[in-house]
């Protein structure tokens, strides 16, 4: 795997009320009660986006406002909106516009800016007073910063904090404890145990002192801590549980990256294949840039709970995947190119494998999303054989292509391929050198589904994903066991083979026979395409009535469907483990139930 530095603070709003330090050379004026809070709303490594919110907490109207703060050397504002922002050295000043300076009691206004560097603001002042609304008393200095907290007694839900005392000319009264910049407690001593936390979650704590006049001093340094428990990285040698996420699913299917988290699936999977990039003129290219990089998500739609802004450098699925990986660090994401529709470009790519590989690396490692992807997957359907179009690039083309990818991407990236599961004699597995190519790949996604379907409109009805052969199977070699056996006979290690599961069914209508092998009149009606339907629909609309060759089938009315259920997936996972396979993969997330029923079945079955 390739491990990259990830800016941990960038994907959720980090609210930081900052204490004001007021110059006492001249008497400070009495400021109207107000607060200014700071939130880092985006962080993309080389820069960040932030927002200040000014709120009138007093009883009289504010006619204008000025927020001042210090940035450490190397951190600066590069552009701003809804305020006039200037600087003098490392000191920054933001003044209200003519149209947003007036604040009635209880109202607030925000302004924002983009910045560079990694520092946080300090020494905040709002209209000459403290940014947290505390008083400023002439002749009474604010307290110093306490020591950076230390953490101990960390559990799934709590952590103990300890810090060295602050100093003050008139005495320290108490301390505010801030979690992620938000005050969670005020204590008189120099320890505090914070409770009610979430297992396996990162937290950041700071502390600030209050003196006898209730003036606050600057915050301490930050202490980072991760609670125990929660999601952990899979142990070395654990089985792969990989799912395809479709780029176009965000439209009609209304399926988004956040669904992986809300369904519980993100905690169960190990890898995601993002499908699909296109292959044009012998090169890898982005397909739908709007869905991938530009579609804006509201706070309630996004993984992090933070809304996209119009000017952030990256939005869309890629940014959501970035947020998902921040929340579930064990997940690795691969960019998948090709698929049924876009495989026609691979023939030209095979004429210059090195140039193709270089173009793919440029897309996968584009600086705007280089931290999102951990590798590349090639879905060539099919080398030296026919899919949507026919390819005649020769039996060595596939091996040459993936060898060039490995050379270009190196050993720190995953390089994988989805391949045919045609185990018939002289079939698609025999058309390319899958055995020789395996040396360049981490694994194969063997597409052990879509063996049979209503493209044969009159039948015979048959399970589209049979694990084994059975009496009456329409085509010899069209089953998972024979496909896996053939690949192993060609020298592919079992550990580099993943068993494929379809999260959908294929079906016919006009069927009178319940058992497989019946005749039909046409493809059954499907939500998006005739002859195909999601599992989440079929489990209720046409429940399974039998099992054949390790796959469920259902006869309801005149319709006949075949699909996998949690029970048949359990059988298949047991078989995969007994064969020593590297794990399983599935097409694709949106076919599952809202609680991730099938993903959970794969996860449990691979344990």
Name the residues annotated as catalytic: 381
Instruction: Say which residues have a Cβ less than 8 Å from residue 334's Cβ, sequence separation at least 6.
Output: 271, 272, 273, 274, 373, 374, 375, 376, 377, 414, 416
Residues found in the chain:
607
> Using CA atoms, how far apart are residues 500 and 418, in angstroms rounded to an integer?
9
Nearest Cα to Cα of residue 325 among 65, 6, 106, 49? 6
Which string of b and e fits 338-356 if b means at least 16 CB within 10 Å? Answer: bbeebbbbbbebbebbeeb
Q: Are 507 and 561 in contact (CB under 8 A)?
A: yes
Dihedral pair phi/psi, residue 153, rounded to 5°:
50, 45
Q: Are 271 and 334 in contact (CB under 8 A)?
A: yes
Q: Are 575 and 484 in contact (CB under 8 A)?
A: no
Dihedral pair phi/psi, residue 415, rounded to 5°:
-130, 115
> Using CA atoms, how far apart are residues 67 and 77, in angstroms rounded to an integer?
14
Helices of type H across 279-352: 289, 316-327, 339-342, 346-349
| Strand arrangement, sheet containing 122-126 | 84-88, 91-95, 66-70, 122-126, 129-130
Instruction: Say which residues have a Cβ less than 8 Å from residue 90's Cβ, sequence separation at least 6.
Output: 70, 71, 72, 73
Q: DSSP label at 363? A: H
Instruction: Say which residues have a Cβ less than 8 Å from residue 227's Cβ, sequence separation at least 6.
Output: 154, 155, 156, 157, 158, 159, 197, 198, 199, 200, 201, 203
Instruction: Say which residues have a Cβ less than 8 Å from residue 199's Cβ, sequence separation at least 6.
Output: 156, 157, 227, 228, 229, 230
Nearest Cα to Cα of residue 366 among 314, 307, 288, 302? 314
DSSP string, 166-193: P--SS-EEEEEEEETTEEEEEESSSEEE
Nearest Cα to Cα of residue 66 among 133, 130, 126, 23? 126
Residue with tokens 């992620």: 180
> Using CA atoms, how far apart are residues 530 and 591, in angstroms rounded to an integer?
15
């Amino acid at each position: 795997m390739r491990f990259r530095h990830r800016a941990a603070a960038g994907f959720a709003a980090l609210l930081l009320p900052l204490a004001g330090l007021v110059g006492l050379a001249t008497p400070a004026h009495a400021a109207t009660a107000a607060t200014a809070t700071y939130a880092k709303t985006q962080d993309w490594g080389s820069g960040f986006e932030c927002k200040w919110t000014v709120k009138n907490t007093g009883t009289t109207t504010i006619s204008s406002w000025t927020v001042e703060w210090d940035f450490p050397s190397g951190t600066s504002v590069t552009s701003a909106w809804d305020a006039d922002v200037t600087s003098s050295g490392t000191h920054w000043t933001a003044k209200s516009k003519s149209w947003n300076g007036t604040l009635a009691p209880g109202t607030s206004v925000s302004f924002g800016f983009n910045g560079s560097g990694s520092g946080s603001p300090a020494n905040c002042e709002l209209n000459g007073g403290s940014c947290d609304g505390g008083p400023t008393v002439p002749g009474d200095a604010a307290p110093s910063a306490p020591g950076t907290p230390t953490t101990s007694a960390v559990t799934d839900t709590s952590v103990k904090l300890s810090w060295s005392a602050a100093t003050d000319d008139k005495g320290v009264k108490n301390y505010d404890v801030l979690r992620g910049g938000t005050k969670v407690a005020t204590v008189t001593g120099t320890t505090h145990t914070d409770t009610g936390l979430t297992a396996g979650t990162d937290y950041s704590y700071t502390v600030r002192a209050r003196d006898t006049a209730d003036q606050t001093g600057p915050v301490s340094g930050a202490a980072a801590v991760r609670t125990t428990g929660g999601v952990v990285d899979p142990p070395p040698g654990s089985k792969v549980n990989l799912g395809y996420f479709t780029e176009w699913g965000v439209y009609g299917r209304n399926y988004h990256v956040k669904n992986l988290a809300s369904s519980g699936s993100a905690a169960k999977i190990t890898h995601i294949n993002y499908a699909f990039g296109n292959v044009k003129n012998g090169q890898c290219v982005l397909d739908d840039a709007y869905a991938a990089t530009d579609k804006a998500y509201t706070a309630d739609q996004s993984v992090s709970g933070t809304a996209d802004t119009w000017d952030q450098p990256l939005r869309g699925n890629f940014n959501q995947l970035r947020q998902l990986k921040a929340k579930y660090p064990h997940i690795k994401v691969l960019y998948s190119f090709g698929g049924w529709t876009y495989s026609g470009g691979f023939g030209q790519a095979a004429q210059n494998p090195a140039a193709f590989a270089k173009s793919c690396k440029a897309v996968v490692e584009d600086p705007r999303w280089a931290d999102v992807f951990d590798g590349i997957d090639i879905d060539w359907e099919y080398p030296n054989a026919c899919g949507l179009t026919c390819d005649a690039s020769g039996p060595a083309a596939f091996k040459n292509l993936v060898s060039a990818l490995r050379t270009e991407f190196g050993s720190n990236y995953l390089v994988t391929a989805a391949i045919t599961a045609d185990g018939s004699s002289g079939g698609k597995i025999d058309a390319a050198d899958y055995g020789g190519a395996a040396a360049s790949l981490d694994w194969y996604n063997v597409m052990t589904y879509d063996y049979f379907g209503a493209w044969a409109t009159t039948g015979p009805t048959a399970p589209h994903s049979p694990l084994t052969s059975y009496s009456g199977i329409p085509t010899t070699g069209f089953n998972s066991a024979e496909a896996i056996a053939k690949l192993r006979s060609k020298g592919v290690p079992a550990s580099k083979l993943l068993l494929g599961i379809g999260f959908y069914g294929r079906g016919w209508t006009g069927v009178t026979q319940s058992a497989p092998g019946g005749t039909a009149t046409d493809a059954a009606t499907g939500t998006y395409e005739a002859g195909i339907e999601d599992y989440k629909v079929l489990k209720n609309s046409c429940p399974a009535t039998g099992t054949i060759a390790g796959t469920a089938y259902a006869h309801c009315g005149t319709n006949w469907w075949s699909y996998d259920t949690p029970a048949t997936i359990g059988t298949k996972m047991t078989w995969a483990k007994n064969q020593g396979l590297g794990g399983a993969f599935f097409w694709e997330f949106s076919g599952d139930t809202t609680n991730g029923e099938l993903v959970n079945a794969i996860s449990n079955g691979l344990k």
